[in-house]
């Protein structure tokens, strides 16, 4: 008799354990955060319970990170691999930077905004040197060195001819300088009287303007600029320099040209931002 009771009790406990054992199933549907549904059945008239547990292991993966490039071809290459209908591209005129956020808001779902590509328009070394030298005056020797350093940028007058003018002037540092504007040629006639021979005059035609060409931004096309040459006579000695007019305008136009290149390379509309 006790053995039969023990068997009956053991069967009841086993049945209860089987009924109370929870079951789980994974829900991994599109546009639904993956989660487990855990069901614990009821015993007798007692209702069961259902729990929803988020699955980190089965969570969807998202692209993230910030990538920076220096030229339009590199930008277009990365853009082509990751663009979608939720991509937003904007250009900051103040920062000279074009940015594409690939996981922005689409028409149906909000984006996360953690995956972006930036084209950083970095100024070239040549443009920085020209910009920094604009408005300054140099001794004749230093100006000749400056021309030699950027000879690949000077177009008119020819850098060799310009250097020759400077070198010829250099040989008369101890002379007394005079100047007059030549209306016919458009140049400034710089003349000096040698102290040893007061009656002898010799002249050199100094250009009033010229052109230089160089890319403003790394990877960008060369841009031609007008330069105005200047000189200063001080107590018989001569200093030379040049001026680039409207520097901010040149940089802005070069950036807007880069934005146009991005639109052509990516077939995307770029929004302008401050």
Q: Could you read off the pLDDT of 161-186 as tens digits, one per residue?
A: 888 877 776 444 455 556 666 655 55
> Dihedral sign, CA of 210, 211, 216, 218?
negative
Instruction: Name, in order, each residue with C-beta under 8 angstroms of 144's C-beta and a sequence gap of 6 or more.
Output: 163, 166, 167, 170
Q: How far does Cα 133 stand from its chain's mean position?
A: 24
The backbone torsions φ and ψ at residue 205, rounded to the nearest 5 degrees and listed phi first, read -80, 115
For residue 12, give the nearest of 38, 39, 44 by alpha carbon.
44
Please tell me which residue, 129 or 32, carries the higher pLDDT value: 129
C-alpha–C-alpha distance, residues 60 and 109, integer Å: 15
- pLDDT at res. 129: 95
Which pTM value belongs to this model? 0.65
Give 196's pLDDT tier (boundaries 50, 70, 90).
Answer: very low
Sheet with strand 115-120: strands edge to edge: 65-69, 115-120, 97-101, 88-92, 271-273
* % residues pLDDT > 90 (the chain): 40
Mean pLDDT over each residue of the chain, to the nearest integer? 78
């Amino acid at each position: 008799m006790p053995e039969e009771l023990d068997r009956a009790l053991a069967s009841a406990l086993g049945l209860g354990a089987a009924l109370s054992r929870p079951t789980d199933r994974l829900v991994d549907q599109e546009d639904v955060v993956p989660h487990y549904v855990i069901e614990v059945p009821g015993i007798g008239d007692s209702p069961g319970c259902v729990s929803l547990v988020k699955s980190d292991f089965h969570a969807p993966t998202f692209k993230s990170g910030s990538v920076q490039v220096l030229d339009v071809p590199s930008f277009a290459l990365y853009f082509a691999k990751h663009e979608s209908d939720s991509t937003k591209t904007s250009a900051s005129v103040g920062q000279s930077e074009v940015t594409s956020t690939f996981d922005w808001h689409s028409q149906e779902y909000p984006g996360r905004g953690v995956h972006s590509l930036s084209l950083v328009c970095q100024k070239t070394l040549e443009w920085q040197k020209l910009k920094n030298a604009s408005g300054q005056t140099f001794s004749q020797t230093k100006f000749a060195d400056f021309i030699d350093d950027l000879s690949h940028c000077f177009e008119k007058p020819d850098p060799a001819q310009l250097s020759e003018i400077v070198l010829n002037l250099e040989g008369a540092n101890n002379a007394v300088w005079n100047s007059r504007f030549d209306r016919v040629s458009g140049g400034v006639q710089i003349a000096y009287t040698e102290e040893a021979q007061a009656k002898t005059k010799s002249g050199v035609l100094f250009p009033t303007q010229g052109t230089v060409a160089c890319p403003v931004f790394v990877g960008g096309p060369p841009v031609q600029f007008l330069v105005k040459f200047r000189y200063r006579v001080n107590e018989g000695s001569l200093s030379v320099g040049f001026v680039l007019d409207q520097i901010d305008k040149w940089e802005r136009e070069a950036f807007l040209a880069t934005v146009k290149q991005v639109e052509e390379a990516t077939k995307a509309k770029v929004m302008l931002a401050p």
